Amino acid sequence: MKQAYAQYLIDKTRSDYNLIGEHFSNTRKFVWRDSVYLKKFCSQGDKVLDLGCGNGRLLELLADLKIDYRGIDSSETLIDLAVKDYPEKSFNVADVLNLPLAENSFDKVFSIAVLHHIPSDELRLRFFSECQRVLKPKGLLILSVWNLKQKRFRKYSRKFFLRKICGLSKLDFNDIFYPWKNQQGKILVQRYLHKFSIAELIRLAEKSGLEIEESGFLPGKRNLYLAVRKSL
């Protein structure tokens, strides 16, 4: 993928979530049940970065842990909603690929359902590099992405695969646009998504110098997850 188009997709994703942010947030008031599995990677007293925090709902998962929390998202709309719901916590609008944060700052970085919105190998590697940079030595990155092999995504995968082989798409293979609809069924935006395999997640992490702790499917197999550790 040409980097100019990849940057267009990054900007489009931010714009899309600013547009649908309030409706999106209303559908994301609680932590997905399968994400509860990821809580085991967090400990009392951890300094935690929630990368692509949305409305801050990860705090519901970690509510009984005394953590030092910071949330980052590129969407101003979602950050405004997070500040409203959790006024005592720290939230900032920032680019997840260029974090305004010091090196070796966090014990844990959580990134739930974010990486599949980042186009191109180059930018995904930059994402991993930024996560590694802000983690403390031996710190953990815990991320999840949607499993786009589910039945509801198949027609979109076929459509964009055919468009790609016919030379009609600027997307990479395994990329799709997926519609977000309002309550009346009207399409508001077409969100960019990349279909990951576990092997691809592991390859990106290892290429970034991170050590694999765990990988697989979360309960229900709607999401893939990866837990990787920064070395000394």
222 and 34 Cβ atoms separated by less than 8 Å: yes
Query: In this predicted model, what pLDDT tens digit does every residue of 7-35 receive, in sequence order?
Result: 999 999 999 999 999 888 888 777 778 88
Give Cβ neighbours of residue 184 (< 8 Å, ≥ 6 apart): none
In angstroms, rounded to a whole number, what is the distance separating the alpha carbons of residues 195 and 158? 12
According to DSSP, the residues that pair with 91 across neighbouring strands are: 71
Residue 219: how many other CB atoms lie within 10 Å = 12
Q: What is the pLDDT of residue 69?
A: 97
Query: In this predicted model, what pLDDT tens digit does every residue of 198-218 receive, in sequence order?
Result: 999 999 999 999 999 999 999
Domain topology for 3-148+197-229: Rossmann fold (3.40.50)
Reading the block at residue 196, the tokens are 């990951």
Give Cβ neighbours of residue 49 (< 8 Å, ≥ 6 apart): 70, 71, 72, 101, 105, 106, 108, 109, 110, 134
> What φ, ψ does residue 105 adopt, rounded to 5°?
-105, -25
* Secondary structure (DSSP) of 150-211: SGGGHHHHHHHHHHHHTT--SSPTTEEEEEEE-TTS-EEEEEEEE---HHHHHHHHHHTTPE
In angstroms, rounded to a whole number, what is the distance separating the alpha carbons of residues 55 and 169? 32
Q: Is pLDDT above 90 for 51?
A: yes
Average pLDDT, the chain: 95
In angstroms, rounded to a whole number, what is the distance separating the alpha carbons of residues 73 and 50? 9
Percent of the chain topping pLDDT 90: 91
